[in-house]
Amino acid sequence: MRKLLLTAAAIALAGCTSMHDLSLHNGDDNPYNKPLFYQRYLNPADPFDARIQRTVDALRADPHSASLHNDLGQMLLRKGFPNDAEKEFSRAIRADRNFYPAYYNRAQLRAGQGDYLGARQDYFATVRHKPGHSEALFALGLMEEQHQHDTAAINYYAKAISINHSLLDVRVNPRVLDSKLMPFALLKAYPKLHAKDAVQLTGAPPSYNGMATQQPAPSPQPTATQIVPPAAPVTDPGTQKPKP
């Protein structure tokens, strides 16, 4: 009996979801059909604001596009509307549960607002849907270090920098200066970072890494039709006689 009730509830929920999606597609419940709060602050003459408006127009026609929601969220965050930006990232995730950029962007936004738990969940979701996302791994390392979970932080850092060396460049990743554990992470990542270099230094075979090493060109050999002149004798300038 309980199983039947659960099945009926699941069917009813699926039906509601389908009706909601249908109404959204038909425009009955499309939020972009109504004036949005931030639109009153858009300047049509500004190229960036005009881009925001074009994205809103595109979402009015296709409200289920995860990439459009994500793009709009990034622009709204830059424009100074973090709450509306978070809504767009959440809509992107609802449109596509595997769309990892929206998880990462929402995590960045939540981290900036001090929502540690929400940001941590979204960073985890990012690396779950995109294993090896170095920026999310680095951000998790920072969070663990801030909460004095040094071992976990070092592990995240080591994995992140072994995937993406540019994270060590302060011009690319200014937050690398926020970590006091980076030397330990470098020591942990050292074997992986230098394994390939070590192999190359010991002398790689000609086809190593699929790239043939350049061999010296063979000396040209005379053919039957070539005439090789004899070497000229070396003379002594004083005697003008050939040296023996």
pLDDT average, residue stretch 183-202: 72
For 204, the 3-state DSSP assignment is coil
DSSP of 162-199: HH-GGGG-TTT-GGGGG-S-HHHHHHHHHHHHHHHHHH
pLDDT the model gives residue 214: 52
Kindly indicate the confidence band of residue 71, based on its pLDDT and cuts at 50, 70 and 90: very high
Q: Evaluate whether 142 touches 157 at the Cβ level (below 8 Å).
A: no
Kindly indicate the confidence band of residue 190, based on its pLDDT and cuts at 50, 70 and 90: confident
Residue 201 DSSP class: H
Buried b vs exposed e over 34-71: b needs ≥16 C-beta within 10 Å?
eebebeeebeeeeeebeebeebbebbeeebebbebbbb
pLDDT the model gives residue 28: 55
The structure tokens listed for 9 are 């509830």
pLDDT average, residue stretch 202-225: 50
Cα–Cα distance list, 49 to 2, 40, 92, 128, 129 (Å) = 54, 11, 21, 34, 32
Average pLDDT taken over every residue of the chain:
81
Any residues with CB less than 8 A from the CB of 13 and at least 6 apart, and which?
A: none
For residue range 27-60, what is the model confidence (pLDDT) as tens digits?
A: 458 999 999 999 999 999 999 999 999 999 999 9
pLDDT average, residue stretch 97-104: 98
Q: Is the pLDDT of residue 21 over 90?
A: no
Domain ranges (residues) in the chain: 17-122, 132-200
Q: Evaluate whether 172 touches 134 at the Cβ level (below 8 Å).
A: no
Kindly indicate the confidence band of residue 215, based on its pLDDT and cuts at 50, 70 and 90: low
DSSP of 66-103: HHHHHHHHHHHHHHT-HHHHHHHHHHHHHH-TT-HHHH
pLDDT the model gives residue 239: 47
Kindly indicate the confidence band of residue 218, based on its pLDDT and cuts at 50, 70 and 90: low
Q: Looking at the whole model, is its pTM more than 0.75?
A: no
pLDDT average, residue stretch 125-152: 97
Kindly indicate the confidence band of residue 169, based on its pLDDT and cuts at 50, 70 and 90: very high
Q: Which residue has the higher pLDDT, 214 or 67?
A: 67
Q: Evaluate whether 190 touches 154 at the Cβ level (below 8 Å).
A: no
Write the class of the CATH domain 17-122.
mainly alpha
For residue range 105-137, what is the model confidence (pLDDT) as tens digits?
A: 999 999 999 999 999 999 999 999 999 999 999
